[in-house]
């Protein structure tokens, strides 16, 4: 895997001097959890004044669960198939986060559409990471969309979540060149290197607000 530097490097932030209590995070994941780990490591290094209060996941067989348990972070399974509506699932998510005193919610590979219920519970404090330079390539398969479009540069975006998918206010972005021989896997791997930098940075922005 080629570790190509991004064209726009995120500014690294240190929050050690902060006297505020750590921002209580709730993380939502449906996949491998590499972004979850990136956030946890930024906290460990002292680069992010936050605490992961709980990981909510909607599948029981995802790697993110193991990553959380290794760190003794509580995990809560909320299986979308057990809820009759998206709003009902979101009410359960909100109740869970309230029980863990969550202040800010991070969708780190959450593969379900959400509703106004979740948005209203965390106004301006519900963020998502997406593997493209929004507003290009919204929705699913952003990496494949970038390859099909033959763009020379793609990247990743952290944005505040609104009801319209991948359309909320942008907090931070990082660019990644598309190489001539890229496959979806190689490009996604390089995009993820940047995701792991900008997601903690975006949370740090919110932690300072
Ligand atoms: C990331 O590429 C993110 O942009 C997208 O889902 C993926 C999650 O990856 N929304 P991981 O589970 O954090 O490794």
Nearest CA to ligand 1 atom 8: 109
The pLDDT assigned to 9 comes to 45
Number of DSSP helices (H) and strands (E) in the chain, helices first: 6, 7
Ligand 1 atom closest to Cα of residue 188: 2
User: Do 170 and 133 touch, CB atoms closer than 8 A?
Assistant: no
Q: What pLDDT, on the 0 to 100 scale, is given for residue 142? A: 98
pLDDT at 146 over 50: yes
pLDDT tens string 23-63: 999 999 998 899 999 999 999 999 999 999 999 999 888 88
- Average pLDDT estimate for 104-131: 96
pLDDT per residue as tens digits for the range 52-70: 999 999 988 888 899 899 9
Full-model pTM: 0.90
Supply the DSSP symbol for 48: S
Pocket test for ligand 1, best of 35, 65, 136 (most atoms within 8 A of CB): 35
Rounded to the nearest angstrom, the distance between the alpha carbon of 138 and the centre of ligand 1 is 14
- Position 64 scores a pLDDT of 85
13 token code pair: 């932030």
Q: Which residue has the higher pLDDT, 162 or 5?
A: 162
Write out residues with Cβ below 6 Å of ligand 1. Answer: 29, 31-35, 108-109, 129-131, 156, 192, 195
Q: What is the mean pLDDT of residues 139-168?
A: 97
Residues 180-194 have pLDDT tens digits of 999 999 999 999 999
Segment 135-147 mean pLDDT: 97
pLDDT above 60 (res 107):
yes
Q: Is 188 a catalytic residue?
A: no
3-class state of residue 27 by DSSP: strand
Helical spans, DSSP H, in the chain: 34-44, 63-70, 86-99, 116-121, 142-149, 184-208
Rounded Cα distance, 41 and 196, in Å:
10
pLDDT at 61: 86
Pocket of ligand 1, candidates 29, 64, 131, 172: which has the most ligand atoms within 8 Å of its Cβ, to mutate? 131
- The overall average pLDDT reported for the chain is 91
Q: Which domains does the chain have, with CATH numbers?
A: 22-128+158-173+195-208 (3.40.50.170)
Q: What is the pLDDT of residue 62?
A: 87
């Amino acid at each position: 895997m080629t570790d190509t530097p991004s064209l726009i490097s995120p500014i690294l932030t240190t929050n050690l001097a902060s006297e505020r209590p750590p921002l209580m995070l709730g993380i939502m994941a449906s996949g491998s959890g590499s972004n979850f780990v990136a956030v946890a490591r930024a906290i460990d290094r002292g680069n992010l004044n936050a605490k992961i209060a709980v990981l909510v996941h909607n599948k029981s067989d995802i790697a993110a669960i193991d990553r959380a348990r290794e760190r003794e972070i509580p995990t809560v399974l909320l299986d979308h198939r057990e809820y009759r509506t998206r709003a009902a699932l979101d009410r359960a998510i909100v109740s869970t986060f309230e029980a863990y005193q969550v202040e800010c919610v991070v969708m780190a590979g959450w593969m379900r559409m959400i509703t106004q219920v979740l948005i209203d519970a965390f106004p301006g404090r519900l963020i998502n990471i997406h593997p493209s330079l929004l507003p290009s390539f919204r929705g699913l398969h952003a990496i494949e969309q970038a390859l099909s479009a033959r763009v020379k540069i793609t990247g990743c975006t952290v944005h505040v979540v609104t009801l319209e998918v991948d359309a909320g206010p942008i907090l931070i972005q990082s660019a990644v060149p598309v190489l001539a021989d890229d496959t979806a896997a190689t490009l996604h791997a390089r995009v993820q290197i940047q995701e792991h930098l900008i997601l903690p940075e975006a949370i740090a922005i919110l932690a300072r607000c």
